[in-house]
């Protein structure tokens, strides 16, 4: 191989790698979006619709072994409801402990399971709150 052929091969390889990388990144951005865009879209979905009411920190044994420690705040429809629910604190905490203690480690290890946990908590808390709990926020979630 002469010098010209070698330079041509090297330049062709660089161009090929560059096009391949650029094409892959372009396809990912176009079809899948970037994780930053996904995060921004998720943040846009969450809108503050009412006051936040801290419920507390919970540590429970999970079904099948392991434990879960969670700090939970709920979003309610209005300030009047928040004041009323402060008086129902023991009942709210009981519902949270019941839901958490019935979960397994597998239930809380992935985002789908945590979203299901959120839905279960909203449903159970609304038994006490008469459908005034609109969301459950996990301020911290530690499991082992």
- Using a cut of 0.75, tell me whether the model's pTM lies above it: no
The residues, any chain, with a CB within 8 Å of residue 100's CB and separated by 6 or more, are 58, 60, 62, 68, 70, 117
Q: Please state, in angstroms and rounded to a whole number, the distance separating the CA atoms of residues 138 and 55.
A: 10
Q: What pLDDT score does 70 carry?
A: 95
Identify the pLDDT of residue 15. 86
Contact 125, 56 (CB under 8 A): no
pLDDT at 44: 47
Averaged pLDDT, 116-128: 95
Q: What is the pLDDT of residues 66-78, one digit of tens each?
A: 999 999 999 999 9
Q: Express each pLDDT in 43-64 by its tens digit.
A: 545 556 789 999 999 999 999 9
Whether pLDDT at 143 is above 70: yes
| Residue 40 confidence (pLDDT) above 70 | no
Q: What is the mean pLDDT of residues 92-102?
A: 95
Phi, psi (5° rounding) for residue 133?
-85, 120
pLDDT band at 141 (very low <50, low <70, confident <90, very high): very high
Tell me: pLDDT of 1 over 80.
no
């Amino acid at each position: 191989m002469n010098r010209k052929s070698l330079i041509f091969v090297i330049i062709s390889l660089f161009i090929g790698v560059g096009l391949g990388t650029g094409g892959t990144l372009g396809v990912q951005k176009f079809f899948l979006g970037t994780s930053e865009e996904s995060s921004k879209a998720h943040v846009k979905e969450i809108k503050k619709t009412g006051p936040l009411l801290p419920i507390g920190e919970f540590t429970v044994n999970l079904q099948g072994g392991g434990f879960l420690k969670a700090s939970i705040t709920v979003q309610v429809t209005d300030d009047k409801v928040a004041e009323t629910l402060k008086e129902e604190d023991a009942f709210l905490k009981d519902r949270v402990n019941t839901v958490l203690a019935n979960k397994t480690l597998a239930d809380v290890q992935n985002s789908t399971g945590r979203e299901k946990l959120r839905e279960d908590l909203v449903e159970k808390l609304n038994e006490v709150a008469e459908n005034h709990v609109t969301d459950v926020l996990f301020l911290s979630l530690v499991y082992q």
